[in-house]
Amino acid sequence: AQSVTQPDIHITVSEGASLELRCNYSYGATPYLFWYVQSPGQGLQLLLKYFSGDTLVQGIKGFEAEFKRSQSSFNLRKPSVHWSDAAEYFCAVEPGNTGKLIFGQGTTLQVKP
Amino acid sequence: NAGVTQTPKFRVLKTGQSMTLLCAQDMNHEYMYWYRQDPGMGLRLIHYSVGEGTTAKGEVPDGYNVSRLKKQNFLLGLESAAPSQTSVYFCASTHGEDTQYFGPGTRLTVL
């Protein structure tokens, strides 16, 4: 069965430090890949997505993600974290152009001043 | 252009009561979805629709029913609410091969 794993439930980084959030998926072919962010009490906002082509994807708010087929991973990165980045981050996959998303468990990011 | 809206934002039910959650989108999207979000479990798909008049089961459909009588609306019904249905419910819509746009959520508590 398809699945998405975000190994880190909670991450704390200092403001200005770099960030990497991990995402691994289980699927036979290359799915569509997404990262969403959820601020407290809010809905989900798309940060970036990968459908095909260049494996390094740029998103909003200075985020980027790299698709690595050999590792079945789609890790999210940001060079310098801002306090406003504190939120919950979800990785999601859409297997085989089904229109259905499978979400990871989420990673909560805390930013220290 | 309001995007995806959900009604109500909050609701408290007693066990056995029924209710309907309304999702509306003004983007002329074909596909609509209902998810539930529980701590440590991410979002799980309850039901979805690929067009007006169609519905299909997702990952966790038991205890819920849906209807898509109009393209812009997707209703989620709980016929007999249970405490296990306490959750935050999100609606989403998309054209299909594109990003899903999410509503702000409905926080439901079943006592």
What are B20-51's pLDDT values in tens digits? 999 999 999 999 999 999 988 889 999 999 99
Q: Please name the residues in contact with A44: beta carbons below 8 A apart, sequence gap of 6 or more.
A: A36, A37, A38, A90, B43, B90, B92, B102
Q: Measured between alpha carbons, how far is B55 from B46 in angstroms, rounded to an integer?
A: 11
CA A31, distance to chain mean position in Å, is 14
Q: Which of B50, B96, B100 sits opposite A101 (nearest CB)?
A: B100
Report the percentage of chain A scoring pLDDT > 90.
76
Q: What is each CA distance from A91 to A104, B55, B81, B88, in whole angstroms?
A: 5, 25, 30, 18
Q: Are A87 and A40 within 8 A, CB to CB?
A: yes
**Residue A76: how many other CB atoms lie within 10 Å:** 24
Phi-psi region of B42 (alpha: psi -120 to 50; beta: other; left: phi over 0): left
Tokens of A9: 């439930």
Question: Residue A100 — pLDDT band, cuts 50, 70, 90?
Answer: confident
Report the percentage of chain B scoring pLDDT > 90.
89
pLDDT value at position A30?
Answer: 78
Pairing of strands B56-57, B43-49: antiparallel
Question: Residue A84 — pLDDT band, cuts 50, 70, 90?
Answer: very high
Q: Please name the residues in contact with B52: beta carbons below 8 A apart, sequence gap of 6 or more.
A: B68, B69, B70, B71
Q: Which of A9, A46, A97 sits opposite B99 (nearest CB)?
A: A46
For residue B98, the chain A residue with the least C-alpha distance is: A99
Q: Are B79 and B65 within 8 A, CB to CB?
A: yes
The DSSP element (H or E) to which A112 belongs, if any, is strand A107-112
Interchain proximity A104–B42, CB inside 8 Å: yes
Q: Measured between alpha carbons, how far is B94 from A106 in angstroms, rounded to an integer?
A: 22
| Strand blocks (E) in A39-106 | 44-50, 56-58, 64-68, 73-78, 87-94, 102-103
Would you tell me which residues 9-68 of chain B have a C-beta closer than 8 angstroms to some C-beta of chain A?
31, 33, 35, 40-45, 48, 50, 58
pLDDT at position B97 over 80: no
What are A8-48's pLDDT values in tens digits? 999 999 999 999 999 999 987 778 999 999 998 888 999 99
